[in-house]
Amino acid sequence: MKSRTIGCAAAASAFAIVTAGCVTVGPAQRAQLAKPEMTPAGETAEETFHSHVEAAREGGFGGHGAAGGGCGCG
Amino acid sequence: MLAFVLWPATAAAEDRVTVRGNYYREVSTRVLQPTVDVTVDVPDERLTLGATYVLDAVTSASIATGTTEVTGGDNTFTEIRHETAAYAQSKLGQWGLGGFFRYSTETDYRSRSLGISGQRELLQRTVTLSLSYAYNFDRFDRIQANTGARLPWCGGSQDIASCSGSGVGLGTNLVQTHYVAAGYTHVLHKHVLGLLTAETAVVRGPQDNPYRGAQLLVTYETHPVRRTRFAVAPGVRWILPKANLVLEPRYRFYKDSWDISAHAPELRVHYRFAKHFRARARYRYYRQSAAFFWRDDGNFAEPTGLCSQDTVENCATADPKLDAWDSHTPGIQLVYELDGLATRNGLRWLDQGWISATYNHVFQSTRFGQARLGALAFSLAY
């Protein structure tokens, strides 16, 4: 039951984040988003290694990707 | 597999070579994993080709991995795995397409994987949607104790003498995985990037360890031959320019048909403390429930047929990762961007390059004990 509550809370938080972002940010405003620390695609090799380790040591999987790798600032 | 599928096209495509050395250490196992990745634009981001090579050297000194079973004694042995992958990515306007093939081989396991992915940018490139599919087909063998003979492994419920090394379905050593991922990235604010990934995998075939039966009162470990897995992972990257900080909360929820559910919240903090120096601290908590066939006492009866939800009496496992357990993982990473050196004569080739050092320490409550993960990497654009 506790797990289900946590799961529902996480899903609700994700939904709120997604639906709150309907404001379009112009290209000129995205300079900060182009920094390497804001770019998920720059961590591909590390995420692959963590995915490999977790597959061998944990019952779960996933969570090591991010769609498109981009902020639209490239 | 995931990386190729979920990152179909990077934001900054370029010719690049990245060399990385990964290190994993726990009480009974050590893994050294050098990797090299090369990408080439032909001639630009409209078509990017890449290739990756990974060497896995796994040294084990524990019955946990079946060492005694294979070597006939309590000896250390090293298993070598080679992995090669080729991939292509294309960016055409607001569309991105990608595909890959990967082959991996070790003494008793061969894995082939291929996949395709597509992505679409929307709303002035503030939203990216992606969809990926991958198919894995693996062949599983068992090295016989003392003789060293390699026989196909069809799972603990199947007679090893009649197991086939070819064909599809029960009675063969084929493990098939269909994997689908959907991703959503959204620029929520000029300083905030939101990410959401949902993944599912359907696995069919032997999924038990052919050597771990020695730890039980049964001949072989026996797991269900079907498993459906699902994971959803929201996250945010929030940059605070004046503080040179990026906050990155993440969360992953996982659930599967073996009744394992898992939660993995994580916080990463990136800090740029000089123009070309940045550091990242992370903390990850992981907690999971046990599989429906796990028994704390390990007192399983000899299976007489397939293991499933309806025939739990035919299941047997000694796999610690199927128990309920949790872990804490703090970690740190330092990155030096080589652009600073590239302004000097003769060092212009370092432009856009970087080097990094990473260390993570895993405090886990399974019998694997504490684990150390380290990595050194450098990357050069050319």
C-alpha separations of A47 from A53, A63, A73, B76 in Å? 10, 9, 22, 29
Judged by a CB distance cut-off of 8 A, whether residue A43 touches chain B is: no
Judge whether residue B150 has pLDDT over 70: yes
* Cα A56 to the center of its chain, rounded Å: 22
Span B65-84, average pLDDT: 68
Can you tell me the ipTM of this complex? 0.87
* C-alpha span between B364 and B381 (Å, rounded): 38
**pLDDT tens-digit map of A55-65:** 889 999 888 86
Helix (H) / strand (E) element for A50: namely helix A44-57
Confidence of residue B219 (pLDDT cuts 50, 70, 90): confident
**pLDDT tens-digit map of B185-216:** 999 999 999 999 999 999 999 999 988 877 78
Beta strand extents in B241-370 (DSSP E only): 245-256, 261-272, 277-288, 325-337, 354-364
What is the predicted pLDDT for the residue at A22? Answer: 57
| Chain B residue with the nearest C-alpha to that of A64 | B2
CATH class of B16-381: mainly beta
Span B361-381, average pLDDT: 93
Task: Give the pairing type, strands B109-122 and B277-288.
Answer: unpaired
* C-alpha span between B212 and A1 (Å, rounded): 33
Asked if B263 and A65 come within 8 Å (Cβ–Cβ), the reply is: no
Residue to mutate among A6, A15, A17, with most B CBs inside 10 A, is A17
Judged by a CB distance cut-off of 8 A, whether residue B291 touches chain A is: yes
**pLDDT tens-digit map of A30-50:** 888 889 999 887 788 888 899
Judged by a CB distance cut-off of 8 A, whether residue A9 touches chain B is: no
Asked if A24 and B123 come within 8 Å (Cβ–Cβ), the reply is: yes
The DSSP symbol for B164 reads B
Going from N- to C-terminal start, the domains of chain B cover 16-381
Judge whether residue B163 has pLDDT over 70: yes
The DSSP symbol for A46 reads H
| Chain A residue with the nearest C-alpha to that of B209 | A56
**pLDDT tens-digit map of B102-123:** 999 998 899 999 999 999 999 8
Residue in B354, B119, B29 with CA at minimum distance from that of residue A70: B119
Confidence of residue B367 (pLDDT cuts 50, 70, 90): confident
* C-alpha span between B84 and A39 (Å, rounded): 25
Query: For A18, which of B124, B184, B229 is closest by C-beta distance?
Result: B184
Phi, psi of B320, rounded to the nearest 5 degrees: -60, -25
- What is the DSSP annotation of B64-102? GGTHHHHHSSS--EEEEEEEEEEEEEEEETTEEEEEEEE
Place of tokens 């992915």: B117
| Chain A residue with the nearest C-alpha to that of B235 | A14
- The chain-wide mean pLDDT, for chain B, equals 90
What is the predicted pLDDT for the residue at A12? Answer: 62
What is the predicted pLDDT for the residue at B35? Answer: 96
